[in-house]
Structure 1
């Protein structure tokens, strides 16, 4: 049976697109000799139950996949238990995992150690974000603040892709005003995002 490399791409919501992940993945794919199949999802990383992922998992279990490639490990999921059980299953089935941005390769001992550390970090980030949101909401309610006021559909969210762009632009030394304009968010929001890193 011929095997293929599975490239998995996920964004968290239907309003996001895969464009920020594709250039790196396409460059990586161009350097491979083995056949490649792309799997894509627009779904939360809090669950492993997603259409694209379910198809990929089925192909892994039927022995059709030689390795799984992602842009960053958090594209697979955001729970440590989900990711570590996935790492174990991939190793048992002799399927390698490559994460381009994390510089991760499960075929090495260092890569396996790093994968488990990153899985724990992904879960920690998720829990801290949830705690921060809950604390912020509680504080705002205690101060009598209410939500709303803008027209329906005009609220801009700080998505994973926007966070990546903010971090990248900041690393390149771009001013906060330019970053805010590029991602369509306010300067205080940009400062808030950068404080998390």
Structure 2
């Protein structure tokens, strides 16, 4: 039988623009890597953290889904992304795939009991954020209806989803991806993704 390649720790480094440098993150991450027995692979991006669709990150997640990664390591949690729903969905997916998440400078290992508690808090905050947004939308709709406003063809209160993102959502679902993974991939909340999946596909 062919020998299975050992899993590696995926170290992720991100800055938001081309004029920034990874230099401040590297010393701490290198020190972490030096004391590991397992292989290490580096992934880098120069991109905003507001969306989860980035070349280096996509390569990392491709390896995660192929079962090649034992742990995802970052300098600080916000290096993974500044999209709360996307990061919460990522935590869900990593737990499902039994991949550890380590934040070096924050001293959080999401494979420990404390780390899992922090992850649960983050997920709860993401859910709360979605509920608050929904309540604001409903209040706005009620005020608009009172003022006599009517909506066109879209679904009132649903975040606008581009045709490209809608196709991506349906393709990933057809490929067997979890809703958590789809949310992370397209940078949308669970309610928005579910609303797309619950509607018939456009001709």
- TM-score tier after normalising by the smaller chain length: 0.5 to 0.7
Count of aligned pairs: 122
Aligned residue number for residue 50 of structure 2: 46
Shift of 1:109: 2.4
Contact persistence 1:104–1:115 (CA under 8 A) = no
Match of 2:27 among 15, 23, 42: 23
Deviations 1:86-118 (A, max 9, x none): 001001101000001111111122102223546
Which residue number in structure 2 is paired with residue 67 of structure 1? Answer: 71
Mapping of residues 81-92 of structure 1, within 5 Å: 81-92=85-96
User: Which residue of structure 2 aligns with residue 101 of structure 1?
Assistant: 105
Q: In 2 relative to 1, CA 117–4 (structure 1 residues): closer, same or farther, beyond 3 Å?
A: same
Q: Which TM-score applies when normalising by structure 1?
A: 0.59
**Which sections of structure 2, spanning at least 5 residues, go unmatched?**
130-203
Q: Indicate if the aligned counterparts of 1:12 and 1:44 stay in contact, CA closer than 8 A.
A: yes
- The 3 A distance-change label for structure 1 pair 38 and 108 is same
Counterpart in 2 of 1:4?
A: 8
Q: TM-score, normalised by structure 2?
A: 0.57
Instruction: Specify whether residues 24 and 91 from structure 1 end up closer, same or farther in structure 2 by C-alpha distance, changes over 3 A only.
Output: same
After the TM superposition, which segments of 4 or more aligned residues of structure 1 sit over 2 Å from their partners?
115-121
Q: Which has the higher contact order (CA 8 A, sep 6+)?
A: 2
Q: Partner residue of 2:193?
A: none
Find the partner of 1:114 among 118, 125, 147. Answer: 118
* Aligned: 1:78 with 2:78: no
- Aligned to 1:94, the other structure's residue is in SS state coil
Stretches of structure 1 that go unaligned for 5 or more consecutive residues are 125-197
Alignment correspondent of 2:36: 32
Give the secondary-structure state (helix, strand or coil) at the position aligned to 1:5: strand
- Change over 3 Å in CA distance of 1:86–1:17 after alignment to 2: same
TM-superposed deviation, 1:81: 0.7
